[in-house]
Amino acid sequence: MDILQTIKETDKSFSQEIQKVQDIKSLEELRVKYLSRKGIVSTLFDDLKNVSREDKPLVGKSLNELRNSVQLRFDELKEKLESVSGKDHTLVDLSLPGRKTELGSKHILTQTLDEIKTIFKGLGFSIFEGPELESDYYNFEALNFPPDHPARDMQDTFFVNKSYLLRTHTSPVQVRLMTSQEPPVRAIMPGKVYRNEAISARSYCLFHQVEGLYVDTDVTFAELKGTLVSFARQFYGSDLKYRFRPSFFPFTEPSAEMDITCFLCHGKGCRMCKGSGWLEILGCGMVDPNVFKEVGYDPEKYTGYAFGMGIERIAILKYDIPDIRMYFENDLRFLKQF
């Protein structure tokens, strides 16, 4: 039968042509020629109506075998070509100059924190850290915040449940340190803190603090002032002026806030210092005896001081950064300036 001979010749010609295919475009042309609706294989199926009834089973079987065989070989080659075309075969010209390697850098907050750590290490302070998820006891009660104390309203808190919260300051780390170590204690406590505040150019729900603690016999307020003045002059410059203003914190008594002369206007008054000539940089004070009693220290024997500062504010004042939100936007145009 002529049609059976045609089927054999079609299979042979397809085998020869598919061996010459080198790319997806040529393969598609081969598919159109053999497997499309008007292709050679479909035309042979159309001719099946002209075959006698006795020969149709044999011819039909041969046609199905041809179509399956052609389709299988087509699919295998297509998969192979697609996998190869997906790979990058770009040749490297070794005579060209090398590409410049882009190095990352530390975030400005990390740089500021590292500088603060270095200064206080030089003053004899160690570094101590604690958990960001804190209990109400460590965050408030042990720091002289009774349950109904109005000072709790000074800090808007993210409560997880009735007993646990995201710490509002790193002062709980001071309590943990004192309950695990006998005096003398001299350490700083850096870390993230959280407050439920409206986000604006000057406030954010997340920020970083560094707090410090020194406890021993005969620790005085004069030592506190000397330590903080030494830090400020190393960080901002030796020619700055400073002042301490009375303030209030539940866990220190007496308490104070430290101001330095505005480094932009040198005390004359400008936008940064709101015309006052002074910039607040931290809060401090002598540790309240009630805190010593809570951690098991004898307040008749030991005295100590504590201080705390916000890293974002310290960097804002030093580098004249206009908006605290810029720290968290990951804008390389801002970050690469530092």
What is residue 101's predicted lDDT score, i.e. its pLDDT? 81
> What's the pLDDT tens digit per position in 277-290?
888 889 999 999 99
In the predicted model, what is the mean pLDDT of residues 108-137? 94
Distance CA 306, CA 284 (A): 6
Buried b / exposed e across 23-60, counting CB within 10 Å, b at 16+? Answer: eeeebeebeeebbeeeebbeebeeeeeebeeeeeeebe
Q: With bands split at pLDDT 50, 70 and 90, how would you rate the model's confidence at 300?
A: very high
Q: What pLDDT shows up at residue 22?
A: 84
Cα angle 138, 144, 145; round to 5: 80
Please write the tens of the pLDDT for every residue from 73-86.
Answer: 888 888 888 877 65
pTM above 0.85, yes or no: no
* Environment class of 273 (CB within 10 Å of its CB; exposed 0-12, middle 13-18, buried 19+): buried
Short-list 198, 188, 207, 194, CA closest to 311: 207
pLDDT, tens digit, 9 for 90 and up, residues 173-230:
999 999 999 999 999 999 999 988 888 877 888 999 999 999 999 999 999 999 999 9
pLDDT digits (tens, 9 = 90+) for 16-44: 888 888 888 888 888 888 888 888 888 88
Report the pLDDT value the prediction gives residue 52, as an integer from 0 to 100. Answer: 83
Task: Name the token pair of 264.
Answer: 């932009």
Reading the block at residue 180, the tokens are 């695990």
Give the start-to-end residue ranges of the domains of the chain.
Answer: 2-85, 108-335
CATH code for the structural domain at 108-335: 3.30.930.10
Percent of the chain with pLDDT over 90: 40
Are the C-beta atoms of 27 and 21 separated by less than 8 Å?
yes
68, with CB counted inside 10 A (0-12, 13-18, 19+), is exposed
Model confidence at 96, pLDDT cuts 50, 70, 90, reads confident
Q: In terms of residues, how long is the chain?
A: 338
CA distance 206 to 227: 28
pLDDT of residue 153: 64
